Amino acid sequence: MPIIVCKNQLVFKLSTDNWDYCFRCNDYGLLEHVCSSAAVPDTAETLLQTLAPDKMMPFTAYPKERDMLSNGSPGVLLQEYGTFNAGDFRIPALKVRSSDGTSTVRLRWHSCQCYAGTPVLENLPCARSVENDDCETLEIKLTDPEIGLAVYLSYTVFPHCDIIVRGARIVNESSSLLTVERAMSMQLDLAPGNYDMIQLPGAWGRERHAERHALHHGIQSINSNRGLSSHAANPALVLAERTATETQGCVYGVMLAYSGNFLGEVEVSEMDSVRIVMGINPELFSWPLTPGSSFTTPQAIIARSEQGLGGMSRQLHRFFRRHWLPEKWATAKRPLLINNWEATYFDINEEKLLNIARSAAQVGVEMLVLDDGWFGKRNNDLSSLGDWYVNENKIPNLEALVRRVNELGMKFGLWFEPEMVSEDSDLYRSHPDWVLRIPNRSYSLSRHQLVLDMGRDEVVENIFQQMKNILSRANIEYIKWDANRIITECCSGALPPERQGEAAHRFVLGVYKLHARLLQEFPDLLIEGCSGGGGRFDAGILYYAPQIWCSDLSDAADRVRIQLGTSLFYPCACMGAHVSSCPNLQNLRITPLATRGNIAMSGTFGYEMDLKELSDGERQQIAGQIAMFHRLNPLVQNGDLYRLSNICSNNHIDSWCIVSPDRQKGFLTVFRKNTDLNQPPVRIRLQGLEPDAVYQIDNRTLSGKALMNIGLTFELEQGDAVSRIIEFAVV
Ligand code: DGJ
């Protein structure tokens, strides 16, 4: 049983295959964390003995009515959901303003219920239960009767992925207004220990570069206040024991399934305990609750592994495949695509597109994606976002174009930027009030565009109808959903002044609503997320779009760092990765075609160039890459990733291998960024193999044990940005 509730003592033990998480309701009704550890045989009641002896610490506060002899100081106890200004001075999970003007909350035990399966959230991404996953949910109700507040904390246990998904619902049970000022999706309090934090900071073109640093006393945080999860930070962090590596040691991975403003904070307290909270960023958020109404937080996904960062990543990847990504695509092979963007930018016409499609079809590419510039009167980025009708000067007949592409044996995909509008557009001219902007005040532009107020149903409906018109006209099987600016001066014309704190969150809900409506109308549609490259690479988007364009930097040599950082949390099969032209159009690097193919091979794979401009030799090389894609893509989709180099440092050589779930086959990728003379041969120790099986690898026959303990030695050719893919299989 994943959840054991010991009713008479109110102790709860949540168990996955390798993780026990225990908490209790203490004598004065506070939800107190007991322990989180590798699986132990002890019962929930027995685990109470692991609690530190009760002790009132000097200079701490305690509730007046409390029995001085029982339980320690609330500000020192490990808790499940700390609240603001009632004796716990660490970062709170919850802050609610009541009609008396204060934001103090004191939550106490009320009741609990347990059920098989997962909670269903309306209009928010939520984890799915599948057959035989034994998943169970515990819901705890806490209340603050003095202000009439109820909080439902939910814990869904996915035993075979070693994952617990958390969330909270805040309900106003009073007869006056309550305002939620901060409602985190999760809190995890850990006993004192030496921990490092790993996060994925970045910027446009260098997204998700993993960074590791030691925790210090006080608060360290990651956040976005840009309306989107952003290039600059990712809503995910790792807490790793100081000695934990890729292969061993205890690590926690915490992810927020949310695509807007987020905050993740880690605090080392005065007593050295560690608190992690993650949720919607309170900076641009407040949510008034009228009597009887409620607010639901997005879900947080928490993984724990004793097998280091690699173990944690594989757990999360498995969880995404089984319980999160759109079911139709979660484990399915995605079409190998060619995208015209870097080949043409805005300068498109039907003939150019057909030429790109023809030369791609000849080598076996499976889908043409028509990127930006096909609609309104868009010839550059100054106009037309919001006008989702075909520019007939460029594409006289969309149906015919799609048909001709289909006749080449290829699918057809189309680019949209649904949440955005250009000032120079029919949509903006007819509805200037549909954008997020403070009326009668100056405002910011970014890429010459504005952001639609997706919190308004009429806006979502308008964009949905426009997209539906296009998608039902022709056989369009994929869309690339872009979002090329961040949100500033966030203010909704549909909300009164006292409710402006809702605008940013309502925007995200509208984005999810539009995704859901499109998928309801076109259930087979494949959506690829994008945001000026990888500015919105998060679990929220992955719930609707199983792949996301990783970065606008398409150079393979720099992509290695981006893709490895991303893989800390997200599966390889979710990373949009293409082979682009050379020299690279963004950083001008000359990266060999072989390396461009080898690095994209560990993503969704595709091309972003005009193949007919290549030499015959290069086209032949591409035919070879495509044959390799067909062999290796099932491994990328469903295999286990083992990173073999340290993702938090700049390495001379980077390498990783992907192994089939049955360990019978896989492939190793090795990459060296800078040439280096007079080096010894490369020696790589593989991971994830069957120790006693014998593998055929690089014209050698070696046992799994030998490959993992001694390693494989080989030469890498001279030159910058060289790489090799080495396939292996059990003989
Ligand atoms: C940004 C994307 O990341 C690019 O791939 C491309 O689609 C452009 N937008 C189009 O404007």
pLDDT by residue (tens digit) across 442-456? 999 999 999 999 999
Mean pLDDT of the chain: 96
Residue showing tokens 């057809």: 412
What is the pTM (predicted TM-score) of this model? Answer: 0.98
User: Quick one: DSSP state of residue 700?
Assistant: E
Instruction: Please give the pLDDT value at position 67.
Output: 58
Q: What is the pLDDT of residue 566?
A: 98
Whether the CB of 453 sits within 6 Å of ligand 1 = no
Q: Is 482 close to ligand 1, i.e. is its CB under 6 Å away?
A: yes
For residue 341 and ligand 1, the question of a CB distance below 6 A is answered with: yes
In the structure encoding, which two tokens stand for residue 90, read together?
A: 């660490």
Residue nearest to atom 9 of ligand 1 (CA): 532
What does the block give as tokens for 604?
């969704």
Cα R_g (the chain), whole angstroms: 26
- 508 CA to middle of ligand 1, Å? 21
Rounded distance, CA 444 to CA 490, Å? 10
Q: Is the CB of 532 under 6 A from ligand 1?
A: yes
Q: What is the mean pLDDT of residues 223-248?
A: 98
For the segment 423-452, the average pLDDT, to the nearest whole number, is 97
372 lines ligand 1 (CB under 6 A): yes
pLDDT confidence of residue 63: 82
| Predicted local distance difference test score (pLDDT) of residue 53 | 80
- Calpha distance 297→508 (Å, rounded): 12
Question: Which of 32, 37, 142, 35 has the alpha carbon at shortest distance from 77?
Answer: 32
Q: Is 371 in the pocket of ligand 1 (CB under 6 A)?
A: yes
Q: Decide if 695 contacts 704 (C-beta within 8 A).
A: yes
Ligand 1 nearest-atom number relative to CA 480: 7
pLDDT tens-digit series, residues 456-495: 999 999 999 999 999 999 999 999 999 999 999 999 999 9
Q: Please say whether the beta carbons of 105 and 56 come within 8 A.
A: no
**477 CA distance to ligand 1 middle (Å):** 19
Residue-by-residue DSSP string for 441-463: S----BTTEEEB-TTSHHHHHHH
Tally the residues of the chain: 731
CA–CA distance, 543 with 125 (Å, rounded to integer): 6
Write out pLDDT tens, residues 54-100: 778 888 888 887 655 566 788 899 999 999 999 999 999 999 999 99
Return the ∠ at Cα 200 (arms to 197 and 201), rounded to 5°: 110
Ligand 1 midpoint to CA 425 (Å):
19
Which tokens belong to 378?
């868009």
Any catalytic annotation for residue 347?
no
Active site residue 88: no
Q: Tell me if the bond preceding 53 is cis, omega within 30° of 0.
A: no
What are the structure tokens assigned to 338, written together?
A: 């060619």
Picking from 235, 334, 259, the residue whose alpha carbon sits closest to that of residue 530 is 259
pLDDT exceeds cutoff 60 at 146: yes
- Cα separation of 416 and 411, whole Å? 17
| Alpha carbons 210 and 198: distance in angstroms, whole number | 7
Catalytic residue among 144, 162, 371, 482: 482
pLDDT of residue 28: 83
- The residue nearest atom 11 of ligand 1, judged by CA position, is 372
Non-local (6+) Cβ contacts of 591 within 8 A are 555, 556, 557, 582, 584, 720, 721
pLDDT in tens, 570-595: 999 999 999 999 999 999 999 999 99
Select from 368, 352, 314 the least CA-distant residue to 608.
368
Among 133, 162, 552, 555, the one annotated catalytic: 552
Structural element, H or E, at residue 444: none
Neighbouring residues of 588: CB distance < 8 A, sequence distance ≥ 6: none
CA of 481 to the centre of ligand 1 (A): 9
Helix (H) or strand (E) holding 566: helix 556-566
Residue to mutate, 228, 340, 341, ligand 1, most ligand atoms under 8 Å from C-beta: 341
Going by C-alpha positions, the residue among 668, 25, 564 that lies closest to residue 309 is: 564
Atom of ligand 1 nearest to the CA of 551: 3
Report the nearest atom of ligand 1 relative to the CA of 415: 7
What mean pLDDT comes out for the span 513-526?
98
Weakest-pLDDT range from 69-78, 414-423, 659-668: 69-78
